[in-house]
């Protein structure tokens, strides 16, 4: 089966790509190949208690589909509902082919064509072809989360659970719970599990910046009461984009001041009884992602004594809990390993270009949307310092601009190529969080200079992806006539 564009993945990015392709390239055929049986990606996979966004829905939602719920920080089911309704409203759901895991993609320059090998959920093999392949497959392994492993785990008599594989109807009522981790998942789980658990301890090796934020955005709701939906959504979105850019800039320019400000706010939320050292990281704000907690729910749970934080390292597991390096023991009935994700570039598919295998760890990322020396191949990767969807929307717009440009000029292939000897791969990850460090070898690199450098800046990307020249001298185009001659 042939399509002009094949999109891999039906999460936020794939649904957004579908919308932009329909709206901006109406003459093109496309399909979305999704390994799972449902759309939504992350927001369908994760089922742990309290699962929610930590960015506001005016920016995590699409530019083209207003978020009209009163909560700006939404829970997982509400986000999934929004994604389902968006896919249905624009007929994108009819373009999704479920139960189709892409395992291999092979580019032929002679035919200017991708051949895509798929394994279906009932074990069949299928072959699809397309002119352009757009990866919207996220950034982590769906099969399992990251689990470092500790001595003696097998001895533990209670239950060990990873948030990525949360057991259905898991009852932890009355249990003493230890949550290992200090990232977004841990700070969500801890207050959520205090609903029925006897007590919840967050056990962290090192602290993270945690910032309380109102779950409701009064300005956005005020706009929604007075203005048409799309106008209100657009204004709320821009307000939040600009505020986020402003705070990020301040934090990077005056790191010590930002650090002290965040710690002061944490102390004010926690009250004088709680030691704020548990919320005083060794790094500066935005070296790693900040954790936002709606209405300070984590701080409140600690203040009320329903939860506490321990900063220490695990020595080993025992029958009844964990033994810490300090010599202390934590008793637990349930241990949740909120230890993160395993990075996985390009949905784990094996990519070849004219028979040569691509090692993504050796590629350079062009504008954060394509890769060096891989023709007609895009991928969607959101921001690390702002909502994912902001970059996903821009990426899809760029894909459509590129396709329309190639059509107008009669080009069959577009390949970013680095010909500037001064531009070299820069292995610095966008954040120094554990999962980026663990994935450093396998993930694509940014370059030392534009258009290969990633600025993590929406305004800059908007100018570059929406308005910048498509024919910028870095993307090399192959005329259609050349391809037809070769393949004839
Ligand atoms: C718990 C959690 C909370 C988060 N909270 C936020 C937040 O608040 N704000 C924010 O901006 N970001 C957040 N993120 C990041 C989040 O992943 C993005 O916001 C967004 O959901 C990513 O969407 P996506 O469509 O690009 O990828 P995903 O949601 O990961 O979807 C990828 C889809 O591709 C499919 N797929 C993968 N490989 C293949 C293959 N080989 N063949 C076929 N299909 C394939 C998967 O099955 C999946 O459906 C969070 C992430 C997690 C894990």
pLDDT tens digits in sequence order for the chain, 488 residues long: 999 999 999 999 999 999 999 999 999 999 999 999 999 999 999 999 999 998 999 999 999 999 999 999 999 999 999 999 999 999 999 999 999 999 999 999 999 999 999 999 999 999 999 999 999 999 999 998 998 889 999 999 999 999 999 999 999 999 999 999 999 999 999 999 999 999 999 999 999 999 999 999 999 999 999 999 999 999 999 999 999 999 999 999 999 999 999 999 999 999 998 999 999 999 999 888 889 999 999 999 999 999 999 999 999 999 999 999 999 999 999 999 999 899 898 999 999 999 999 999 999 999 999 999 999 999 999 998 899 999 999 999 999 999 999 999 999 999 999 988 888 887 766 666 666 667 677 788 888 888 998 888 999 999 999 999 999 999 999 999 888 766 65
14 alpha carbon to ligand 1 midpoint, in Å?
Answer: 10
The neighbouring-strand residues paired with 200 are 177, 307
| Whole-number pLDDT of residue 488 | 57
Q: Round to whole Å and give the CA distance between 445 and 307.
A: 40
Give the C-alpha distances (Å, rounded to integers) separating 177 from 107, 192, 197. Answer: 50, 12, 7
389: nearest Cα among 12, 10, 7, 9: 12
Q: Round to whole Å and give the CA distance between 253 and 324.
A: 37
In ligand 1, which atom is closest to the CA atom of 15? 25
The model scores a pTM over 0.85? yes
Structure tokens at 73: 């920080």
42 alpha carbon to ligand 1 midpoint, in Å?
Answer: 4
Which value, to the nearest 10 degrees, does the dihedral of the CA atoms of residues 2, 116, 22, 91 take? Answer: 90
In ligand 1, which atom is closest to the CA atom of 102? 42
292 lines ligand 1 (CB under 6 A): no
| Whole-number pLDDT of residue 483 | 84
How would you class 141 by CB atoms within 10 Å of its CB: exposed for 0-12, middle for 13-18, buried for 19 or more? Answer: middle
Tell me which residue has its CA closest to atom 32 in ligand 1.
137
255 lines ligand 1 (CB under 6 A): no
| Whole-number pLDDT of residue 444 | 85
Q: What is the DSSP string of 370-388?
A: EETT-TTEEE----SSS-H
Per DSSP, 462 falls in state I
| Strand 329-331 relative to strand 321-324, pairing | antiparallel
8 lines ligand 1 (CB under 6 A): yes
Cα four-point dihedral sign 167, 173, 179, 184: positive
Structure tokens at 342: 């395993």
Tell me which residue has its CA closest to atom 53 in ligand 1.
42
477 alpha carbon to ligand 1 midpoint, in Å?
Answer: 31
């Amino acid at each position: 089966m042939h399509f002009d564009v094949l999109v891999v993945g039906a999460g936020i990015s794939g649904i957004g790509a579908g919308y932009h392709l329909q709206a901006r390239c109406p003459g093109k055929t496309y399909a979305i190949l999704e390994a799972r049986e449902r759309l939504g990606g992350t927001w369908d996979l994760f089922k742990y208690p309290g699962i929610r966004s930590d960015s506001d829905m005016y920016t995590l939602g699409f530019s083209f589909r207003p978020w009209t719920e009163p909560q700006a920080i939404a829970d997982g089911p509400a986000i999934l509902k929004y994604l389902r309704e968006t896919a249905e409203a624009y007929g994108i759901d009819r373009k999704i082919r479920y139960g189709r895991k892409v395992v291999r993609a092979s580019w032929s320059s002679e035919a200017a064509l991708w051949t895509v090998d798929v394994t279906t959920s009932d074990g069949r093999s299928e072959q699809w072809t397309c002119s352009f392949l757009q990866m919207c497959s996220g950034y982590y392994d769906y099969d399992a989360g990251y689990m470092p492993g500790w001595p003696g785990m097998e001895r533990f008599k209670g239950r060990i659970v990873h948030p990525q594989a949360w057991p259905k109807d898991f009852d932890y009522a009355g249990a003493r719970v230890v949550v290992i981790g200090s990232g977004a998942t841990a700070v969500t789980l801890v207050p959520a599990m205090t609903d029925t658990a006897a007590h919840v301890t967050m056990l962290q090796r090192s602290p993270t910046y945690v910032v309380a934020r109102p779950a409701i955005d009064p300005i956005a709701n005020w706009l929604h009461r007075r203005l048409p939906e799309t106008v209100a959504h657009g204004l709320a979105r821009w307000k939040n984009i600009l505020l986020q850019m402003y705070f990020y800039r301040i934090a990077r320019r005056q790191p010590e001041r930002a650090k002290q400000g965040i710690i002061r706010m944490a102390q004010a939320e926690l009250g004088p009884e709680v030691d704020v050292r548990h919320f005083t990281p060794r790094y500066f704000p935005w070296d790693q992602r900040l954790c936002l907690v709606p209405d300070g729910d984590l701080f409140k749970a600690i203040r009320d004594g329903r939860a506490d934080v321990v900063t220490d390292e695990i020595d080993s597991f025992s029958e009844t809990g964990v033994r810490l390096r300090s010599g202390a023991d934590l008793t637990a009935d349930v241990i949740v390993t909120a230890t993160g994700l395993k990075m996985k570039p390009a949905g784990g598919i094996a990519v070849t270009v004219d028979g040569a295998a691509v090692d993504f760890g050796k590629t350079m990322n062009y504008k954060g949307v394509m890769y060096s020396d891989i023709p007609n191949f895009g991928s969607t990767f959101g921001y690390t310092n702002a909502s994912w969807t902001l970059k996903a929307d821009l990426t899809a717009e760029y894909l459509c601009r590129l396709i329309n440009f190639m059509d107008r000029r009669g080009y069959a292939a577009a390949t970013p190529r680095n010909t500037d000897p001064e531009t070299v791969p820069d292995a610095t990850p966008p954040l120094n969080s554990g999962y980026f460090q663990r994935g450093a070898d396998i993930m694509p690199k940014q370059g030392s200079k534009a258009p290969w450098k990633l600025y993590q800046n929406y305004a800059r990307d908007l100018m570059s992806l929406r308005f910048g020249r498509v024919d910028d001298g870095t993307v090399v185009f192959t005329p259609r006539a050349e391809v037809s001659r070769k393949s004839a």
